[in-house]
Amino acid sequence: MSRLRLLTVENTDDPALRDLLDRSVIPDPEVSRRVAEIISDVAKRGAEAATEYGDQLGGGYQRIDDESLNQAVSDLDHRLRAAIETAIESVETYQRSQMPADRTISPTPGVEIARRWTPLRRVGAYAPGGKAAYPSTVIMTVVPAVVAGVREIVLVSPAGPDGAVAPVTLAAARLSGATEVWSMGGAQAVAALAYGTEDLAPVDKIVGPGNHWVTAAKLAVLGKCAIDLPAGPSEVLVIADETSDPTLVAVDLLSQTEHGPDSPAVLVTTDPDLAGRVEVEIERLLPDLERSDILAKALSDHGSAVVVPDIETAVELANHYAPEHVTVLTSDAEVVGGAVTRAGSVYIGEWSPESAGDYATGANHVLPTGGLAASYGPLSVTDFGSWRQVQTLTGEGLENLEETITALSDAEGLTAHGLAAQIRVRKIKDGVE
């Protein structure tokens, strides 16, 4: 049985690639309309509306008390707690290496410009939940905020069918450093974070992945508060050649498509025979996987194998596609991986599975999808602060720039701008302090 759609192309302009490349994270208009209604209602009625939507749509609306968080940590088995703590340490180490540094320069005599960074005051982190628990996403969204110096970090995650947030999610939130944890999800959670309620203060920024309802809500509140990026279905593109192990290619495709039935998986190869060998391995591995039904649908609906004439075309296609994940399994993986410039995260060589980045290396797994890796990057410590410019001029500095200021302000018809400089320069020349 062939699950991957087979395409053979000569270049990246081939019309056969149109459907593959044409994807977007923009939600369906009907979803956006309904989300707008939910946000408006929560903004007006606060906790009452958030509670009603939590009851109707699931996810709840309740702050988790400290006792429950501490108990969740106590109840963790040793192996899982050790894994969570190792992941936290790895993420913290990597994020600390990215901490912004203030900088001051003097471009001309008497002019000093400083660039200074300040952590945000309060942020909201969304971790998907409900039918599954994602403690790794808690770590990836909370730890960079802690490293950045954010004082108030609100973690929200929807309750499951039993009406409770998964204990492992609560434990990860406590261990990662979240200062508040709430049981809520969906558009109503995003609305509550953005606008606040009677018992939940609004946040400056919302980060973290979610379904199309969450994505639509994040886009809708942009302007009221900041967001990290709009996120669509998780995706992977594997670059392979005749030297690639078909089992590794297959398992890398499978490991990403198990996120959901709408997750794209793309194999790009120079070897026409590899696709068939990968299909054989997929069929061998699939039955034993817990989410085999989801995997089968994702591969049938969104799986592709693209045969290209050479590695250069493979890299060009990867950069056009600009996916969330790129795995390079070619003979010269480091060279090929270095040429991939538009991807959320790149995994080079057969010992670098995507799952290592998802859980353990310290790299962030909150990544741009749907082609947005062309303009967005991974979530990082720098997303949890803001830059400001600080400018100091001496009298000499202003005199040197007066002509530039007045000439440009006159050209734009903004003469008060020029006057602000001229009055000061006259004061300098008159010797008035």
* Residue 67 annotated among the catalytic residues of the structure: no
- The one catalytic residue in 180, 316, 324, 354 is 324
Beta bridge partners of 385: 119
User: How far is residue 107's CA from residue 99's CA, in Å, rounded to a whole number?
Assistant: 25
Those residues with Cβ within 8 angstroms of residue 108's Cβ, 6 or more apart along the chain or in another chain: 397, 400, 401
Contact 19, 28 (CB under 8 A): no
User: How far is residue 282's CA from residue 254's CA, in Å, rounded to a whole number?
Assistant: 8
Q: How far is CA 382 from the centre of its chain?
A: 12
The single-letter code of the amino acid at 159 is: A
Token representation of residue 181? 């944890």
User: How far is residue 101's CA from residue 95's CA, in Å, rounded to a whole number?
Assistant: 13
Residue 374: strand, helix, or coil: helix
> What DSSP line would sit under 174-197, residue for residue?
HHHT-SEEEE--HHHHHHHHHH-B
* Residue 324 annotated among the catalytic residues of the structure: yes
User: How far is residue 278's CA from residue 111's CA, in Å, rounded to a whole number?
Assistant: 62
> How crowded is residue 130: how many other Cβ atoms within 10 Å of its Cβ?
17
Beta bridge partners of 114: 104, 390
Contact 179, 161 (CB under 8 A): no
Token representation of residue 206? 């919302």
Nearest Cα to Cα of residue 172 among 185, 149, 155 = 155
Nearest Cα to Cα of residue 140 among 94, 182, 101 = 94
- The one catalytic residue in 325, 403, 412, 433 is 325
Name the residues annotated as catalytic.
324-325
